[in-house]
Structure 1
Amino acid sequence: MNRIEKSQKIYKELFGDGVPAAYAADPEFQDILSRFIFGEVFYQGGLDNKQRELITVVVLAANQTLPQLKAHTHAALNVGLTPVEIKEAIYQCAPYLGFPKTLNAITEVNEVFQARNIALPLESQKQVEEENRLDKGLAVQVEIFGDIITKIRESAPSNQKHIQDYLSAFCFGDFYTRGGLDLQTRELLTLCIVSSLGGCESQVKAHVQGNLNVGNDKARMITAITHCLPYMGFPRTLNALSCVNEIIPA
């Protein structure tokens, strides 16, 4: 197949037989978009369409491109992702985007679920309690990043130790411990989320190492970041790839 045929095949799998409303006004732009995203990027590397759509929805949430998030929530369901997997991917954004932007994304996802008669709320994926969320979160943090976490916590200024506790209990305790997605998937999604945010190169580097530690190799990370390209643009994609290459030299 050439890239036009490839794009038509992927587009149909994701969205069905419909034609984008924008096609009538901007057909040439839509052709460029479709042939690049669905005829090239979707075929680069070893991710399947479920993994690609999880990446797509978190990057769209990060960018707050909400109409496209709604469309790709439909696509995510169409390629076989469960409502729990989609919702957990959006929840995973909260520590990096903040609550307001994550709530905006949740609203869009819930509208799609309601339109498709998916009952809300979904089954609980919570796996921590008030008394153990810090300890369990810290355990996950150490699993991802190693013993350096203990050194970071011990060296934090006394007036900022609460931030380290929040990081362990909230980011890793409240979210990384949840069911619905495995640790490798959550860490790959986090890499994509922080790559899509400007000025987060130090966090990108940390999560490149974290991905390595949980079993996502360099090729998988490059594929994931490449998949983000049409949604976050070349500058942030190239910055993220530079971080990967710095942490994992050729």
Structure 2
Amino acid sequence: MNRIDRSIEKYKQLFGDGVPATHVTDPDFQDILSHFIFGEIFYQGELNDKERELITLVVLATNQTLPQLTAHVSAALSVGLTPVEIKEAVYQCAPYIGFPKTLNAIDKVNEVFKAKEIVLPIESQKTVNEQNRSQKGLATQVEIFGDVIKKMQKNAPSNQTHIQEYLSAFYFGDFYTRSGLDLQTRELLTLCIVSALGGAEGQVKAHVQGNLNVGNAKEQLIDAITHCLPYMGFPRTLNTLACINEISPEN
């Protein structure tokens, strides 16, 4: 099957029989887009369609490309992702892109869920409470990054210790500890989010190492960033690939 036939098949699987509005006004551009994304990118590497749609959702949320996000929420359901998995992927964006942008994305997710008569709110995935969120968050940080985290907390200037506490309790305690997505998936999505932000190479490198530490192989990281390419462009993709190769050099 050639890439054009693959793109037609994949598009139908994701979105049904509809024709993109762009195909009426800009058919050449839509063909370039469809043939590349759905005929090449979706078939590059070993990610399954559920993983690809989770990645797509978080990058679109990060970019605030909300019309496309809406379409891909439906696509995510079509490939078998659960409402919980979709919501958790979007929630995972909050520490990186902030609450307002995450709320914008949640609003679009909820629009699709309501249209499909998915009952809201969906079941809670919370696993921590006010007494243990910081402790559980720190434990997750250490699981991903090692004991260097404790050294960072110990060595933080006194006027910045609150940031380290927020990292443990809020960033990792409130989000990473949630059920619905496993740690490997959350860390892979985080790499895609910080890559799509642009200008966050320090965090990209940290999360490349974090991914390797939790068992995501280098090839899996390359597959994930390749899937981000049509949504975040070549400059940010190449920057992330450079970070991956710096942390995990080719033999």
Asked if Structure 1 and Structure 2 have the same fold, meaning a TM-score greater than 0.5 normalized by the shorter chain, the answer is: yes
Query: What SS class does the counterpart of residue 127 from structure 2 fall into?
Result: coil
Aligned match of 2:125? 125
Give the Cα–Cα distance (whole angstroms) in 2 for the partners of residues 81 and 37 of structure 1: 20
Give the Cα–Cα distance (whole angstroms) in 2 for the partners of residues 138 and 130 of structure 1: 14
| Letter of the structure 1 residue corresponding to residue 67 of structure 2 | P
Residue 194 (str. 1) matches residue 194 (str. 2): yes
Runs of 4+ displaced beyond 6 Å = none
TM-score w.r.t. the length of structure 2 is 0.99
Give the Cα–Cα distance (whole angstroms) in 2 for the partners of residues 10 and 148 of structure 1: 44
Give the Cα–Cα distance (whole angstroms) in 2 for the partners of residues 248 and 148 of structure 1: 19
Shift of 1:67: 0.2
Give the Cα–Cα distance (whole angstroms) in 2 for the partners of residues 237 and 198 of structure 1: 9
Aligned match of 2:212? 212
Aligned match of 2:115? 115
Q: Structure 2 matches for 1:59-208, cutoff 5 A?
A: 59-208=59-208
Cα-to-partner distance string for 1:126-157 (whole Å, 9 max, x where unaligned): 00000100000000000000011011111111
Q: Structure 2 matches for 1:27-66, cutoff 5 A?
A: 27-66=27-66
Give the Cα–Cα distance (whole angstroms) in 1 for the partners of residues 115 and 22 of structure 2: 22
Cα-to-partner distance string for 1:184-206 (whole Å, 9 max, x where unaligned): 00000000000001210000000
Give the Cα–Cα distance (whole angstroms) in 1 for the partners of residues 24 and 41 of structure 2: 24
Give the Cα–Cα distance (whole angstroms) in 1 for the partners of residues 167 and 115 of structure 2: 35
In terms of mean alpha carbon deviation, does 88-97 or 14-23 score higher?
14-23
Cα-to-partner distance string for 1:91-113 (whole Å, 9 max, x where unaligned): 00000000000000000000000
Aligned match of 1:223? 223
Which runs of 5 or more structure 2 residues have no equivalent in the other structure?
Answer: none
Give the Cα–Cα distance (whole angstroms) in 2 for the partners of residues 171 and 162 of structure 1: 12
| Letter of the structure 1 residue corresponding to residue 66 of structure 2 | L
In terms of mean alpha carbon deviation, does 83-92 or 13-22 score higher?
13-22
Give the Cα–Cα distance (whole angstroms) in 2 for the partners of residues 143 and 13 of structure 1: 37
Give the Cα–Cα distance (whole angstroms) in 2 for the partners of residues 6 and 100 of structure 1: 37
Give the Cα–Cα distance (whole angstroms) in 2 for the partners of residues 125 and 197 of structure 1: 26
Query: What SS class does the counterpart of residue 117 from structure 1 fall into?
Result: coil
Shift of 1:22: 1.4
Give the Cα–Cα distance (whole angstroms) in 1 for the partners of residues 199 and 18 of structure 2: 38
| Letter of the structure 2 residue corresponding to residue 61 of structure 1 | A
Give the Cα–Cα distance (whole angstroms) in 1 for the partners of residues 155 and 224 of structure 2: 33
Q: Identity of paired residues, percent?
A: 76
Give the Cα–Cα distance (whole angstroms) in 2 for the partners of residues 145 and 7 of structure 1: 39
TM-score w.r.t. the length of structure 1 is 1.00
Alignment length (residue pairs): 250
